[in-house]
């Protein structure tokens, strides 16, 4: 009897024990068995305590679904500290655009833009266009460094010319949206001229 | 029943005349029966044999010597050893239980290793990836295999114990009945200048 109890305890120790809230949700909102992704904070919790997706943006720029309608960043300098914007990508939101009017006396400057977002929901991408010509100059690439906190990180780098207004767009890529059930996300956009 | 006559000892010695005035011993004729065969009943009053019977049969039953009593069964109780086949079966059962237990132990440790990769009781700050899901699945799969193997091994161990107990040889009894004609016979045969002493029995 004692051996049987001891054996049961030892065997029970072989089964993974994962406390609720231990992990961020994985791609497509995946979680360990018995848990579900909580859209409110994209952590794996018990299914009964899930809360709906919520997002608080730094600025309410809607409608900003096109480069022409994008939110214009204030006075930019040729070299500046990074500008960080928290944004939200709700269901059926095609894109969020931010306009970048480069000062005319800057000559050529480099832009370093990054976007990070939870891997739990739909994936997002970056694109840079010249608002005058409408030409897409660059798109996001994999960053040389990666986030370890359950976020995806994408990077964009390009040379910009002074006196031209550019726009950076954030849009869903169509992947990781749980077949439409998690077609939303929150993101942080970071842009720096240097 | 095979009959054998064994001469245990022979003694040739001078035998003095048992009775004073008796006729000296007579040399036996060549036609006298061989000493190996039972001596014939001596004719009474034959001077060649003396006045009385000169050989005696020692009957163990009549004596007070402890041991075999003729016509009485000897009961021997003993516990026989396990047969080679029985030992082989026990060893196979026990070995099989050990093998299954060993396999279960392997998968037990495998499941524990996989389980340790993903188990957590606090916030890790990391996402639930496909790699962690694979560890999770491996842990469950190995735990299931370990449980099955432990179960089979335990059942075999129990079977081994039961089989060992059930097939243990019990105490057996064997009866030995001593042959009635196995009484040893002592003989003293007079010879020239002495006598031949011998004994024989059947077995």
State the alpha helices, DSSP H only, in chain B: 84-118, 130-166
pLDDT in tens, A181-193: 899 999 999 999 9
State the pLDDT at residue B9: 36
Which contacts qualify for A136-139: CB closer than 8 Å, 24 or more apart?
A137/A166
Contact B146 A24 (CB under 8 A): no
A23 part of contact set with chain B, CB < 8 Å? yes
Contact A24 B121 (CB under 8 A): no
Please give the average per-residue pLDDT across A81-102, as a whole number. 90
Q: How far apart are the C-alpha atoms of A2 and B53, rounded to whole Å? A: 84
pLDDT in tens, A103-121: 988 889 999 999 999 999 9
Mutate to test the interface with A, among B128, B142, B157 (most CBs of A within 10 A): B128
Residue A96 · residue A102 · CB < 8 Å: no
Q: For A14, which of B112, B127, B133 is closest by C-beta distance?
A: B112
Q: How far is A119 from chain B (nearest CA, A)?
A: 8
| CA dist list (Å): A137 to A126, B32, B109, B148 | 11, 145, 54, 61
- Report the range of poorest mean pLDDT among A62-71, B33-42, B79-88, B154-163: B33-42
Q: How far is A38 from chain B (nearest CA, A)?
A: 13
Q: How far is A173 from chain B (nearest CA, A)?
A: 20
Which of B23-32, B92-101, B121-130 has the highest average model confidence (pLDDT)? Answer: B92-101
Task: Find chain B residues with C-beta within 8 A of A22's C-beta.
Answer: 120-124
Nearest CA in chain B to A29: B128
Exposed (0-12), middle (13-18) or buried (19+): which is B116, by Cβ within 10 Å? middle
Neighbours of A123 (CB within 10 A): 17
| CA dist list (Å): A53 to A61, A151, A189 | 19, 16, 19
Alpha carbon A187 to chain centroid distance? 4
Q: What is the CA radius of gyration of chain A?
A: 21
B128 part of contact set with chain A, CB < 8 Å? yes
B144 part of contact set with chain A, CB < 8 Å? no
Which of B11-20, B122-131, B155-164 has the highest average model confidence (pLDDT)? Answer: B155-164
pLDDT > 90 fraction of chain B, expressed in percent and rounded:
40
Mutate to test the interface with B, among A2, A10, A16 (most CBs of B within 10 A): A16
Residue B73 · residue B176 · CB < 8 Å: yes
The two structure tokens encoding residue B55: 């050989």
Task: Find chain A residues with C-beta within 8 A of B127's C-beta.
Answer: 23-27, 119-120, 150
Classify the phi-psi angles of A112: left when phi > 0, otherwise alpha if psi is within -120 to 50, otherwise beta. beta
Q: Which residues contact A150 (CB under 8 A, 6 or more apart)?
A: A23, A24, A25, A42, A118, A119, A120, B125, B126, B127
Sign of CA dihedral B15, B20, B22, B24: positive
Helix (H) or strand (E) holding A114: strand A108-118
A9 part of contact set with chain B, CB < 8 Å? no
Task: Find chain B residues with C-beta within 8 A of A33's C-beta.
Answer: 136
Q: Can you tell me which residue has the tokens 């396999």?
A: B103
Task: Find chain B residues with C-beta within 8 A of A18's C-beta.
Answer: 118-120
State the pLDDT at residue B195: 84
ipTM confidence score: 0.79
Whether the predicted pLDDT of B27 surpasses 80:
no
B108 part of contact set with chain A, CB < 8 Å? yes
State the pLDDT at residue A74: 79
Phi, psi of A82 (to 5 degrees): -60, 140
Nearest CA in chain B to A152: B127
Mutate to test the interface with B, among A3, A14, A38 (most CBs of B within 10 A): A14
Task: Using pLDDT thresholds of 50, 70 and 90, give the confidence band for residue B113.
Answer: very high
pLDDT in tens, A117-163: 999 999 999 999 999 998 999 999 999 887 767 788 999 999 999 99
Neighbours of A41 (CB within 10 A): 15
């Amino acid at each position: 009897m004692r051996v049987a109890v001891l054996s049961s305890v030892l065997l029970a120790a072989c089964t993974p024990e994962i406390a609720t809230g231990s992990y961020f949700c994985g791609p497509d909102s995946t979680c360990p068995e018995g848990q579900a992704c909580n859209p409110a904070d994209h952590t794996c919790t018990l299914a009964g305590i899930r809360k709906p997706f919520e997002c608080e943006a730094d600025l309410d720029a809607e409608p900003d679904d096109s480069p022409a309608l994008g939110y214009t960043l204030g006075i930019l300098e040729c070299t500046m500290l990074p500008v960080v914007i928290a944004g939200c990508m709700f269901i059926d939101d095609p894109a969020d655009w931010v306009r970048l009017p480069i000062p005319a006396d800057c000559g050529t400057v480099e832009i370093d833009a990054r976007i990070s977002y939870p891997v739990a929901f739909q994936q997002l991408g970056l694109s840079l266009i010249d608002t005058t010509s409408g030409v897409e100059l660059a798109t996001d690439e994999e960053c040389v460094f990666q986030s370890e906190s359950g976020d995806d990180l994408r990077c964009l780098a390009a040379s910009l010319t002074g006196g031209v207004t550019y726009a950076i767009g954030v849009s869903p890529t169509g992947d990781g949206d749980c077949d439409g059930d998690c077609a939303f996300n929150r993101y942080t956009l970071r842009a720096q001229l240097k | 029943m095979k009959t054998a006559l064994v001469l245990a000892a022979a003694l040739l010695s001078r035998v003095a005349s048992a009775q004073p005035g008796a006729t000296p011993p007579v040399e036996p004729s060549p036609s006298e029966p061989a000493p190996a065969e039972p001596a014939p009943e001596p004719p009474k009053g034959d001077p060649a044999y003396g006045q009385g019977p000169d050989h005696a049969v020692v009957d163990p039953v009549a004596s007070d010597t402890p041991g075999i009593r003729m016509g009485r069964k000897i009961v021997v109780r003993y516990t026989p050893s396990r047969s080679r086949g029985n030992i082989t079966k026990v060893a196979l059962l026990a070995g099989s239980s050990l093998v299954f237990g060993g396999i279960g132990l392997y998968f037990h440790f495998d499941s524990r290793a996989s389980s340790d990769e993903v188990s957590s009781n606090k916030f890790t700050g990391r996402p639930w990836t496909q790699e962690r899901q694979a560890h999770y699945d491996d842990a469950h799969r190995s735990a299931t295999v370990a449980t099955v193997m432990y179960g089979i091994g335990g059942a075999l161990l129990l079977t081994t114990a039961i089989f060992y107990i059930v097939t243990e040889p019990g105490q057996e009894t064997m009866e030995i009945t001593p042959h009635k004609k196995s009484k040893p016979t002592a003989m003293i045969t007079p010879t020239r200048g002495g006598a031949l002493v011998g004994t024989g029995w059947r077995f």
